[in-house]
Structure 1
């Protein structure tokens, strides 16, 4: 009698577990479970830092984006000859542009901009331009800007281009992506609602044509598009990192790359998400704000593979990073960094207003054994 009850109870439990697995198959973790996380979290030094944003004593600096001139070339921005720049939001005041040495080159007093991203080699009015976009919580939409990297005008600067109005209650997360020659914007509301717009500039002024809307589920912000694989990665702050299709008909189907599950890989809040291309390898880097760290996955294979996590400690010319939010990454030659950099927001900037820290990618690669 007892054996029969145990058998029936075990059978029922197995069936219920099987039903739960089948029901959640579309949201199963996509990362390899065979790769155990390395012991601990490695430390890498900050190489240098940007000037602090002007909004002091507030949660202000938020998200960076990196542009670099081709190796051996320069450009003009803010009256300076530069090898690239870092765009960084002060979400209380506007958009900064810093040199790769951290100096301020330009500031656009655009108000409540939250996240920023860019794409280069976009044809606008017959010229290859850098398009910069940002989520705008003041005007409720996407603010768009242009930079001409080939201009020889000493006064060459980033200039306003246009605006895409959205029906989201509070535009929050933002990223750009290219599908062939088409430029698309992903805009995420603070409540987890998302919109995808195709940016059409055939008439001169940019127009945002909505091609997709979906719901992430709860508060979300960080996102990045892998143009090559047509994948969209989104950080849901309390839940984890998700992988979506970037295609307009991708709907809301997704796979969980990593959850906030007690493994220690991601600690809520999950914030910035960035893509690093390193030769033939592609990595996704994610801000684990809950413990001021960053987690790394290699994503150029059949499934994401967890490669470890790191913290940014003090360097010769910068203090350590804490409470980090936004992150961006760029591989290859970036100014004086021969193999790439990452740029991260720093919450507590040694007694000053918040700013952004630069880290040599070689330090991260060496520390994680990549």
Structure 2
């Protein structure tokens, strides 16, 4: 079954509620936290295997937290698996998808599905978006975690349908599977939520465990979010993109306690969307600073430039485009936090998961003996104890990676580990590591 829903008259209400009041401060000084732990550098060139880091996921070992692992996507460079000391313990190339017309993959985002019944046993599965094949790829996680010889093993069922494309020819246009998050509304069902590159469509797909030990998906449904927005002066704002491309969404995360999807529309802001798709009104929680600024696309420079350089943006002070990675930290009771990468100014914004999702502050990550975090794309956070991170862990993408051992002539990326306790102290947030607080740790 494939259903597409369109978002209609809800948008003006959401924007009216979300736009900041006149005279609101444009810049809020961020708190500063530090990190001294980062993964080895990845290089996006032929010598480096075209490895461009993008998105991390944290798999928490249920009994021995020190054996937890961090799984990251490296696009054409496949997947990398790291231990809690940021040492690489496995590299999986972006192999061709298991389909008759399959090509080498491009792995964009990753998330974890816990407790999937597969081949007669219960396993955890890394769910990965593959842009070059417009589908999901699945990797069973060895229960030994970082102690395993090969922590990940691909279990993707053959001949899975395209998520957004009618045929292989359309897939080559690359408006395909992009961001991904796992949604587990109960003990029986697991879904993936997927965004589309270069478009405003979100899809959900139900994961299906087959008797042969592979994972498939079915029941793909779509929701189209806006690509233009009403303004207070009665006009309409269309975010500037290159011809044929819409204002895409990438980062997605699900609050498993409330069945709410948080999604970043890169040039627009942060959305709150009820699940299942179409069952409630999406709301734009916060807008990027230059929301409403009219730009035109310059074909020579391939950049968008403002029509009026002095036109002020209508967005808030928390996000500077692109709004990128997003994840949810679970506290006690209903307390929780939504973390978002503000890629345009190297900050991270934090919002409450309750009420109207109030902004709680921003922070940046400085280096302690290593470089700080710049241009973060994907991020992941857990409230669980993992190894020496006794108050939880934040992992974030860093680009460009810099430092004395990094070749400045090459496109370098990596990932940094940040103690959640430092973030909580800096912004006055909660630390709550009890397993019962995390609905994914059933």
TM class, shorter-chain normalised? 0.7 to 0.9
Q: Which residue of 1 aligns with 2:230?
A: none
Partner secondary structure for residue 97 of structure 1: strand
Name the SS of the counterpart of 1:345 in structure 2: strand
Against the structure 1 CA distance between its residues 171 and 128, is the aligned structure 2 distance closer, same or farther, given a 3 Å change threshold? same
Task: Quote the offset at 1:250 in angstroms.
Answer: 2.7
Aligned residue number for residue 3 of structure 1: none
Q: How many residues are matched?
A: 337
Rounded Cα–Cα distance in structure 2 between residues aligned with 1:30 and 1:127 = 46
Query: How far apart in 2 are the matches of 1:23 and 1:233?
Result: 16
Find 1:177's aligned residue among 179, 183, 207.
183
Cα displacement string for residues 241-281 of structure 1 (whole angstroms, at most 9, x for unaligned residues): 00001215437x30111111442211111100111113342
1:287 maps to 341
1:24 aligns with 2:24: no
Q: Tell me how far apart the structure 2 counterparts of residues 312 and 114 of structure 1 sit (CA, whole Å).
A: 23
- How far residue 134 of structure 1 moved from its aligned partner, in angstroms, is 1.1
- CA–CA separation in structure 2 for the residues paired with 1:235 and 1:23: 16
Which position in structure 1 is the counterpart of 2:268?
Answer: 239
Partner of 2:329: 276
Tell me which protein shows more strand as a share of its residues: 1
Q: Is the 8 A contact 1:31 1:303 kept in 2?
A: no
Structural mapping, 1:351-366, within 5 Å: 351=403, 352=406, 353-366=412-425
Change (3 A) 1:153 1:346: closer
Compared CA separation, residues 49 and 161, structure 1 to 2 (3 A): same
Q: In 2, distance between residues paired with 1:93 and 1:153?
A: 23
Q: Deviations over 1:122-155 (max 9, x none)?
A: 2222322111111101222111111131699954
Separation in 2 of the partners of 1:310 and 1:283? 14
Q: Equivalent residue of 1:337, what SS?
A: coil
> Are 1:220 and 2:229 matched, yes or no?
no
Match of 1:86 among 61, 70, 80: 70
Q: Which residue of the other structure, out of 26, 44, 50, is the alignment partner of 1:55?
A: 44
Distance 1:222 1:151, change over 3 A: closer
Match of 2:56 among 60, 64, 80: 64
Normalising by structure 2, what TM-score? 0.71
